[in-house]
Structure 1
Amino acid sequence: MTIDSDPVPGTLRAAVLLLRAEAVALGLIAVWLIWSDLTAETTDLVSALWVTAFAIGGAVALWALGGALSRRRAGARAPAIVLQLMLLPVGWFMIEGGMGWLGLPLMAFGIGMVGLLVSGPTNRALGFGDPDR
């Protein structure tokens, strides 16, 4: 039995928990989309199914990235950062569309997540940087 003597830093632990929370939230949106697809009286079925599939895929990707980061897989960091940066244009268009109350916090969340993912303790835990410094 191997015991990892290097504890997971708080920044990485927080990033993993927040990625998993995002996955759950997006999963709940996907469930709502499925219900909407099934109960809508008129719809563009192909577009509705694509949006639903995108939500399901996003939830699965966020959950998988959280799991990979919890196992300290350095390769999971870049895709996680990209997904968080995608919140910036989404938030911007929400602000432009009159939903600033949701868009601004969404953008701040994305920037905060990137901060957690590129912080020093996270870098060291994932094996980035000079360990002798």
Structure 2
Amino acid sequence: MTIDSDPIPVTLRWAARLLRAEAVGVGLVAAWLVWADLTAATTDVTSALLVTAFAIGAAAALWALGGALTRRKAGARAPAIVLQLMLLPIGWFMIQGGVAWLGVPLMALGLGVTALLVSTPTTRALGFE
């Protein structure tokens, strides 16, 4: 058994923390969706369950990717980047829909975490150099 004594770089640590924070945020949205599904007077059950399942899956994926990056699993970087880049169109449509106060920070978060994930210290820590 080998122990990696190199400390996790700050960039990788913050990327993992932010992914986990996103997971908590999406998890709260998923909890609200479950509540809304159960208390709605009329609803399209199939659509409601699919949206709720998507939110639960996204929260689980973000949490798992944050943990994998903390353990320096190089294979977690690409899916994490893809999820972060998905925040760009979501933020853009929020801006177009008049919710710029939420869309702009989401876009900034996606770009910021992506920058952390492709930074040189993170790249080295994950063994890409």
Number of the residue aligned with 1:71:
71
TM-score, normalisation: structure 1: 0.94
- The alignment partner of 2:5 has SS state of coil
Deviation for aligned residue 1:2: 4.2
Residue correspondences, number: 129
CA distance in 2, matches of 1:3, 1:73: 15
Structure 1 segments, 4+ long, off by >4 Å, are none
Distance 2:81 2:4 in 1: 26
Give the 5 Å matches for 1:1-133: 2-129=2-129
Q: Give the whole-Å Cα distance in 2 for the aligned partners of 1:46 and 1:2.
A: 49
Distance 1:21 1:3 in 2: 28
Shift of residue 94, structure 1, vs aligned partner: 0.3
Identity %: 75
| TM-score normalised by length of structure 2 | 0.97
Structure 2 letter corresponding to 1:80: A
Q: Secondary structure at the match of 2:115?
A: helix
The AA in structure 2 aligned to 1:28 is: L
Distance 1:113 1:94 in 2: 19
Please provide the CA RMSD for this pair.
0.9
1:3 Cα deviation from its structure 2 partner: 3.5
- Return 5+ residue gaps in structure 1 as ranges: none
**2:123 & 2:35 partners in 1: Cα distance?**
41
